[in-house]
Amino acid sequence: MAVYLMAVGMILLCSLCLSAVLLKWNELKYRKKGLPPGTMGWPVFGETTEFLRQGPNFMKNQRARYGSFFKSHILGCPTVVSMDPEINRYILMNEAKGIVPGYPQSMLDILGRCNIAAVHGSTHRYMRGALLSLVSPTMIKNQLLPKIDRFMRDHLCNWGGSVIDIQEQTKEASPDYEMALLSSLNQTIGFLSGSMRDSLKSEFFKLVLGTLSLPIDLPGTNYKQGLQARKKVVSILRKLMNERKASIDTDNRNDMLSYLTRSEENRQKLTDEEIIDLIITILYSGYETVSTTSMMAVKYLHDHPKALRILREEHMEIKGRKRPDDPIEWNHLKLMRFTRAVIYETSRLATIVNGVLRKTTHDIEINGFVIPRGWRIYVYTREMNYNSYMYPDPLAFNPWRWLDKKADLANNNMMFGGGSRLCPGKELGIAEISTFLHYFVTRYRWEEIGGDKLMKFPRVEAPHGLHIRVESSP
């Protein structure tokens, strides 16, 4: 027995010594003159596990130890984390000065090398131009909003007298439920047959999970499944593109894919690969932000009856200005001032986007430190949403703070990105959520059943759903 205990003790001691050596070796490997303070964690994995497990608490602890500008090793890369509003603004506004997009390998591989978040320079300019042409105010007004309205009317029918999972209805991969994805599919590629639509949906959700994983190319990993899902999604989109091109003279569809495949309207002359990656990017970005914001808006409005009352009054007034079957139109969106404030406040408080990643193209000096070529910079904007100087009583749900136009345009407001990377689909997303809220609050009353837990990192979600009892309005 004594020999066994000694053997176990020796194994534990050796393990501790090996761990200490590995940690020290990794620290020495990245000990370069001029780098900001911080820790690098384990070889290869760095501090990714702690970052994903602890989330915001990891960032707060590191900031308490090293300040608002520190080094780490997360998501497979040596990274400098910036939590300073002024530095963050500088980084986002100076992309051409040695700073380019630096998203994780998993996102690059699965969303495509031509996705707008990954490219830079002239490629980014013409890809952004193509995207802006698809989501311009004119396109929203004339083409997209009528589709959104028809979809939301149908999607929200027959909810009364039932218990529903609002997360499932807006976000998850349950048949005919995932509002944001179905709405986005309707806008981007139009009507699909049931089997093709179901196949595309199934693969798309695997694709989303793959982008949020480490790039470990082994069977069964989310990354591997994401890569396989991308191949299938690309195959479906390429088939649709070929069909549109073959019937270009008779194709009168007004979805985004048809718009891009018609050469006279594709002014940027995008290649097939660029068109496919652009469509995937639109589906990906719209799904995550619209679905989560819609779900959390329902949650916050339920918890704040005064805000719900004012929002409902705003929409009942709009409803009274039109006939029962008339759709929501552009001029109605302009009247939804409080609705817009609710969407902004929901985005701030829920923090759907935690930050953005950049990469250095050469050694660059920021804040008195030298960041080596090839390192990532994580512009961590999450804590800015809870800055008490910018947002008094920051943990309170207070849409009224956004009714002051200055709050919307504040220099430090980076919820929708900044500089040349300001979210091009912002107004389209607001139009979708506003239309959803219009039909939801004018048709129904609801109450939470209770007991559902919310997680806000790395994604905002309710692990067991967010269940509400819905009744039709009198």
Residue 185: in which H helix or E strand, if any? helix 179-188
Asked if 125 and 436 count as a contact pair (C-beta separation under 8 A), the reply is no
Binning the chain into helix, strand and coil, the percentages to the nearest 5 are 55, 10, 35
Q: Please name the residues in contact with 124: beta carbons below 8 A apart, sequence gap of 6 or more.
A: 116, 420
Sign, CA dihedral 142-181-327-405, equals negative
Q: Please name the residues in contact with 76: beta carbons below 8 A apart, sequence gap of 6 or more.
A: 44, 46, 48, 104, 105, 214, 215
Is 114 assigned to a binding site?
no
Distance between CA atoms of 290 and 184, rounded to whole angstroms?
10
Q: Please name the residues in contact with 219: beta carbons below 8 A apart, sequence gap of 6 or more.
A: none
Q: Which DSSP string corresponds to 66-102?
A: H-SEEEEEETTEEEEEE--HHHHHHHHH-TTTTEEE-
Query: Which parts of 212-303 fold into alpha helices (H)?
Result: 222-246, 256-261, 272-303
Q: How do beta strands 162-165 and 99-101 pair?
A: unpaired
Binding residues: 423
Binding residues for heme: 423
